[in-house]
Homo-oligomer: A and B are copies of this chain.
């Protein structure tokens, strides 16, 4: 019978019967979000957005595709990963590859130079992602950007604060925000004797240190990139360093570094950043790490990156998409989150025994016997009009058992039960689904009683969670 209904549906959708078959898959690298996954995703978005809003951010949205010309030349090598739309006449279009270029187009088009906005939307990359690690061809980016001409390290410190707030609220476990500075890296390379024209390529070798061993990075520098082994070894001593204010002070007295203007400027910036982080009460979450060398193509200032500790889906094992990254480029500060957050939250939900609720339904109206449809409808209407989230069976004469089973399987906290005796006495029976405890309540007190019961149940749950953790 189910198959018959699906065939019917298929026919209703206009598919010629007998001609081909309905393709039952998502495109490669994409997935559906089922109600459980949506529940997790919406919970995470709510947390992230509330943090963005706590810091006064607005939000904007842009189309899913842009003129191909707008994206052209913005992504270097990765341009081949852009999805182009077919030329069907008119403009040539491509799906957005990230939210940065559309944001830049938006700013330029509207001549905006000051804005603090977030944008949460899907982006598209024709990559061959490791879907088991939560990476996809269609995935969310959550970008928070501050654009404007501001004073040194003030927006930077707020970005770090925001990252700490979000990771704390998401309860993803212990984490650290690594920070470094583009100018310090440049100064360090100069101090180590790296020729100017090799800065970028050597930097991209250093970038691999979170995934590979120093020896391999060293070999790459020397064998592939023809760096003087002495320079490589000097880099090696620096990039192993991590710490806090002490390390900054020590490096400011380093004989080689202090001759490099860029290095000193970078260190002074970092010193100020750490001071502001201290004022924001987050110094213990920040680690100055000289091996952090991400995203150096067009970033000019502080770079930072949040790394979760001790989690199987360690994002730092992934690629660019796997991190929460913050960068400063001139007058632009950026925080970017990607889909890995959801992968982590999903796998945690799967491994716990607690069922994720997919509806917010508070009350299910149960009829104790046949012939009560109209009474149920009136009752539902009362509850809806009182803004109580209410469901009932769409069958005329549902079985009692199946009604209670539905409450249990979908986690509805309260059943309101009516039968002819309740109707006669003008009462309802309220049942707490979990404990099966029942009370009789006069009809005119029903709404109030439901509200106070819901409040009590929610309080109990909060207390249980608190004592359980």
Chain A residues packing against B (C-beta within 8 Å): 2, 5-6, 8-16, 19-20, 22-28, 30-35, 38-39, 41-42, 53-67, 69-70, 72-76, 83-88, 90-91, 93, 95, 100-101, 104-111, 113, 117, 122, 124, 126, 138, 146, 148-151, 154-155, 157-158, 161, 165, 276, 279-281, 297-298, 329-332, 358-361, 373-374, 377-378, 380-381, 384-385, 387-391, 394-396
Contact = CB atoms under 8 A, between A and B. Distances in A.
Contacts of A381: 161, 279-281
8 contacts: A19-B73, A24-B109, A32-B109, A38-B61, A54-B390, A83-B93, A151-B394, A279-B377
Given A14-B75, A20-B72, A20-B73, 4 more contacts: A13-B74, A65-B138, A83-B86, A85-B86
B33 A61 contact: yes
Contacts of A73: 14-16, 19-20
Given A32-B106, A38-B58, A70-B22, A298 B12 contact: yes
Contacts of A157: 377
Nearest to A34: B60
Contacts of A329: 12
A5 B151 contact: no
A9 B107 contact: yes
Contact of A394 (B42, B93, B146, B360): B146
Nearest to A28: B91
Given A88-B126, A113-B2, A9 B280 contact: no
A25 B105 CA distance: 8
B85 A84 contact: yes
A65 B27 contact: yes
Given A109-B24, A126-B88, A38 B59 contact: yes
Give the number of copies in the complex.
Answer: 2
Contact of A2 (B13, B55, B109, B111): B111
B151 A63 contact: no
Contacts of A15: 73-74
A11 B149 CA distance: 17
A359 B359 CA distance: 28
Contacts of A113: 2, 5-6
Contacts of A332: 9, 12
A66 B24 CA distance: 10
Contact of A56 (B12, B32, B361): B361
A220 to B, nearest CB: 24
Contacts of A331: 5, 8
Contact of A62 (B26, B83, B111, B297): B26
Nearest to A357: B58
A35 B58 contact: yes
A109 to B, nearest CB: 4
Of A60, A63, A67, A83, most buried by chain B (CB within 10 Å of CB) is A63
A24 B108 contact: yes
B83 A359 contact: no
Given A13-B100, A63-B138, A108 B56 contact: no
A16 B41 CA distance: 38
B27 A105 contact: no
A54 B389 contact: yes
B64 A122 contact: yes
A57 B226 CA distance: 62
A349 B38 CA distance: 31
A72 B93 CA distance: 22
B55 A165 contact: no
Contacts of A107: 6, 9
Nearest to A82: B88
Nearest to A109: B24
A325 to B, nearest CB: 16
B84 A60 contact: no
B14 A74 contact: yes
A10 B332 CA distance: 12
A28 to B, nearest CB: 6
Nearest to A62: B32
A211 to B, nearest CB: 24
Contact of A84 (B19, B54, B86, B377): B86
Contacts of A280: 377, 380-381
